[in-house]
Amino acid sequence: MKKTSGEPKAEELPPNFCFSTDDPFYFGPATCHLMHYNMAAYMAGVVEMTMLCGGSFSFWRTFSSVTFYGLKTEQAQLISPKMTFIQIEITILMIFAAFAIVSMAFGINLTHRLFSVFVRIPEMERDFGPIWPFNIAVIAFFAAAICTWMRVLVGGAIDFILDKQFFTNAPSIEMEKTLPRIE
């Protein structure tokens, strides 16, 4: 009978075998066998979160710098990516809020199945009460409302810049009063 992997099966282990959490087998080669897989996984998570936060901050800073430059130089094409990004934020937040409300509406079993991957349900219920998915939805709706407010402001700035460019380059048109003004 062929072995499917190089690891010994339970019946092939010596009779005096004792499991040890500090066995050299559990020290990862990716860390030059200096760290246990468990600690190495924590370290990898910290490094990953640091990289994600750093990348997000750099992306946000670059994006905002281009937007501010577009506002200063009155170039609407440099501001329009900000509008797209805000629209994506609004969409994600609304989907997240709907997801939280629907999961709560379908009952505690679905809520446990869907959210247990991300959070510890008993701790969430202990700290925030049984309607904690509703709290998540409220926060997501509030954030979407703030993004909508920002979208209106940035959209108004783009409209102003485009109107200013159009009317600056357009020939002067003489305006006539067509309706009597009631004074």
Per-residue model confidence (pLDDT) at position 88? 93
Per-residue model confidence (pLDDT) at position 93? 93
C-alpha 67: how far from chain center: 21
Per-residue model confidence (pLDDT) at position 1? 47
In a domain, 83, yes or no: yes
C-alpha 108: how far from chain center: 25
Per-residue model confidence (pLDDT) at position 156? 92
The whole domain housing 43 covers 13-73
| Per-residue pLDDT tens digits for 10-54 | 677 777 777 777 787 788 787 787 888 888 888 888 888 999 898
Report the number of distinct structural domains present in the chain: 2
C-alpha 99: how far from chain center: 15
**Same domain, yes or no: 39 and 115:** no
**Same domain, yes or no: 85 and 144:** yes
Per-residue model confidence (pLDDT) at position 77? 92
Main-chain phi, psi angles of 36, to 5 degrees: -70, 150
Q: Give the CA dihedral 17, 18, 24, 26, nearest 10 degrees.
A: 110
Per-residue model confidence (pLDDT) at position 142? 94
Q: What is the pLDDT along the chain (183 residues), one digit of tens a residue?
A: 455 566 667 677 777 777 777 787 788 787 787 888 888 888 888 888 999 898 888 888 888 899 999 999 999 999 988 899 899 999 999 999 998 888 888 888 888 888 888 888 888 888 888 888 888 899 999 999 999 999 999 999 999 999 888 888 877 777 676 777 676
Q: Among residues 73, 95, 123, which one ends one of the domains? A: 73
**Same domain, yes or no: 107 and 54:** no
* 27: helix, strand or coil: strand
In a domain, 172, yes or no: no
Amino acid letter, residue 106: F
